[in-house]
Amino acid sequence: MNAHRMGWVVDSPALGTGLQAHPCGDALRPAEPLPAADPVAVTFSGGGFRATFSALGVVRLLADAGMLSGLRYASSVSGGSVANGLLATAWPDLKQRDFTTAAVDELLIDPAVTKVGSHSLKKAILRGLWRTLGPMARTELLARRLDEWFFHGTALPDLDPDVRWILNAGNLTTRARFTFERDVLGDYTIGLAATADTGLKLSLAVAASAAVPGAFPPLVLKNARFPCATVAPALLDGGTYDNTGSEAIDSEHYRDVFLLVLNAGGLLRPGAYGGIPVVRDLARANSLLYRQSTALRTRLIVERFQRGRSVGLDEELPPGARRGVLVGLATDFPGNGSGRLNEWRDTFTEHRTHASRDLSLVPTVFDRLEEPLCRALVHRGWWLAGAGLASFHPHRLPDLTSLKPPQL
């Protein structure tokens, strides 16, 4: 057989073994958000409800620090996209209440904790599986349940234009990051399409971003029209492409935007592993690829932050530099840290475990989590974001005696 005619499972255009993808070249671009004197961006990783609640803790810290009103970019994948969607849905009411801590607790955190603490999204999906005997796919069923639970019919074009809400999925047909935003959707190879008059719901974007391979089939957008598409996009969990959610805002265009990155993704623990032969090996190999891609992107972000720290606060950032903080649920801050970090530690106790289990090891699920666990994850995200600011940007924190930590 002619070797050039053979298709190998390891072939990948992304690695240069096949035809390369090219930019579409279309002119449509996302609308810029409302200008801000001190613009802020957040990126929320995947990780099931573990990621959702720790991301809500980060939002709470931004409110405490007076930074939430300056939020202009929010990029996310999977479980982080649930938090992003919740924030986008609540944004008009939060704005009306001046983005106060009390408003974040009452409008954002408490309702999510109550819902997930008393119901199982997984069971709600299983009870509706009979619907998938018809034209509805499981991922569309996930979107329906997310809409019932959290988003209440909100459509993408309805989102507040103050912020660029970016929900990321992976496109199987182009091997690129696929974006859902208020005004556009698509990727760089097939181009962007406008969301106006499409009726696309926020819940569908979140479901595509969270469609874990195996549990949910790829979401095929059959009715959307993209300028350079030859086949319909097939979308799955954005964490398979970039679990930090940071690619959307890592160009020089966003150099002067303060960036807070939360990685609440799962941990690859070394040691013996079991399971079904071949399947377990493929799963482990996939985990290694995920870990490596996430580690490389994390290293890039940290290097840019380090360049940014070498420049005075009143000086212009050079190309390749950023200001911001990256934290993960397993982050260890040094015991001999800065004075501001020590003050943060002395004022607010670090709680990194629940029921004797490290919070970074909470399973990656969309299932019921008991309310104290949800609260512990919110507190963990809040504490880590505060510790990160105390360590690297202490001027951004207010008087700590004025802060009240999230409820445990």
Q: Is the pLDDT of residue 267 over 70?
A: no
> Between 338 and 78, whose confidence is greater?
78
pLDDT of 251 strictly over 60: yes
Name, in order, each residue with C-beta under 8 angstroms of 61's C-beta and a sequence gap of 6 or more.
381, 382, 385, 386, 389
Please measure the distance between the N-terminal and C-terminal CA atoms of the chain and give it in whole angstroms: 65
3-state helix, strand, coil in the chain (%, to 5): 45, 15, 40
What mean pLDDT, rounded, does the chain reach? 89
pLDDT greater at residue 222 or residue 56: 56
Q: Is the pTM of this model over 0.75?
A: yes
Dist CA 261 CA 43 (whole Å) = 5
3-state secondary structure (DSSP) of residue 245: coil
The candidate with the shortest Cα–Cα distance to 210, out of 249, 243, 183, 174, is 243
Instruction: Classify 170 as helix, strand or coil.
Output: strand
Looking at residues 145-152, what average pLDDT do you find? 97
Using pLDDT thresholds of 50, 70 and 90, give the confidence band for residue 175.
Answer: confident
Q: What is the dihedral of CA 223, 224, 228, 233, to 10 degrees?
A: -80
- pLDDT bin (cut points 50, 70, 90) of residue 130 is confident
Burial pattern 181-218, b for ≥16 Cβ within 10 A else e, equals bbbbbbbbbbbbbebeebebbbbbbbbbbbbbeeebeb
- Listed range (87-91, 122-126, 134-138) with the worst mean pLDDT: 134-138
Q: How confident is the model at residue 71 (pLDDT cuts 50, 70, 90)?
A: very high
User: Per-residue pLDDT averaged across 364-378, rounded?
Assistant: 96
CA 163 to chain centre: 15
Which amino acid is it at 138?
A: R
When pLDDT is averaged across residues 344-353 and rounded to a whole number, the result is 96
List helix spans (H) across 65-137.
78-96, 101-104, 110-118, 121-127
pLDDT tens per residue, range 185-228:
999 999 999 999 899 999 999 999 999 887 888 999 988 899 99
Cα separation, 28 vs 36, whole angstroms: 23
- Contact between 205 and 147 (Cβ < 8 Å): no
Q: Looking at 223-319, list the stretches that DSSP marks H as alpha helix, in order from N- to C-terminal side.
A: 279-309
List the single range of 223-227, 261-265, 270-274, 346-350 with lowest mean pLDDT: 270-274
Q: Given pLDDT bands bounded at 50, 70 and 90, which one contains residue 270?
A: low
Structure tokens at 1: 């057989």
**CA nearest to 376, candidates 356, 348, 353:** 353
Q: Do the Cβ atoms of 407 and 85 come closer than 8 Å?
A: no
8 Å CB contact between 153 and 147: yes
SS3 192: strand
Q: Report pLDDT for 281.
A: 63
State phi, psi for 353 to the nearest 5 degrees.
-130, 160
At 2 the pLDDT is 41
Length reported for the chain: 408
- Mean pLDDT (whole number) for 18-28: 81
Report the share of the chain in percent with pLDDT over 90: 73
Buried b (16+ CB within 10 A) or exposed e, 95-111: eeeebebebbbebbbee
